[in-house]
């Protein structure tokens, strides 16, 4: 049996994170959650993840800071920006350029599935 890909959801919005986690677990992924950037970085330091769904706006450390840390690591995961901000925030555009894409909340399950599969496939190259 192949090992399940590991996904970390980093979001202080518990409802969105819980919904995504339940769906991804049902898809066969191993899923962990972090409610803040510092917590996410502690988890990544202990064990690498294949993909991180990363919220932009969080207390203590925003998503762009977490993205910098993730991409600087020795085993950088694929990262999808996870946001409810549908505006033209330059910070989100910058994060999206450095990541595997963007998931807009509220998200459709089929779209989330497609984006994750594409990001993981791109990471495998």
CA distance 99 to 79: 5
Residue-level pLDDT at 65: 92
Band (pLDDT 50/70/90 cuts) for residue 125 is: low
Residue 1, pLDDT > 60, answer no
pLDDT tens for 85-106 read: 766 666 677 777 888 888 888 8
For residues 57-80, average pLDDT = 90
Band (pLDDT 50/70/90 cuts) for residue 84 is: confident
CA distance 102 to 69: 18
Domain range list for the chain: 6-124
pLDDT tens for 8-64 read: 999 999 999 999 999 999 999 999 999 999 999 999 999 999 999 999 888 888 888
The CATH T-level fold of domain 6-124 is Rossmann fold (3.40.50)
Give the H or E element holding residue 108: none
| Cis peptide leading into residue 106 (ω within 30°) | yes
Residues 6+ apart with CB under 8 A from 21: 9, 31, 33
Residue-level pLDDT at 9: 97
Average pLDDT taken over every residue of the chain = 88
Which regions of 1-125 does DSSP assign to beta strands (E)? 6-10, 30-34, 51-55, 78-83, 101-104
């Amino acid at each position: 049996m192949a090992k399940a890909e590991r996904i970390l959801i980093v979001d202080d919005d518990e409802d969105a994170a819980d919904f995504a986690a339940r769906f991804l677990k049902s898809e066969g992924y191993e899923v962990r959650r972090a409610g803040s950037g510092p917590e996410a970085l502690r988890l990544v330091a202990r064990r690498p993840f294949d993909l991180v769904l990363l919220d932009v706006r969080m207390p203590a450390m925003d998503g762009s800071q977490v993205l910098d840390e993730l991409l600087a690591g020795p085993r950088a995961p694929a990262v999808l920006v996870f946001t409810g901000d549908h505006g033209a925030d330059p910070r989100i555009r910058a994060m999206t350029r450095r990541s595997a894409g963007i998931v807009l909340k509220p998200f459709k399950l089929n779209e989330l599935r497609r984006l994750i599969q594409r990001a993981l496939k791109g990471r495998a190259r």
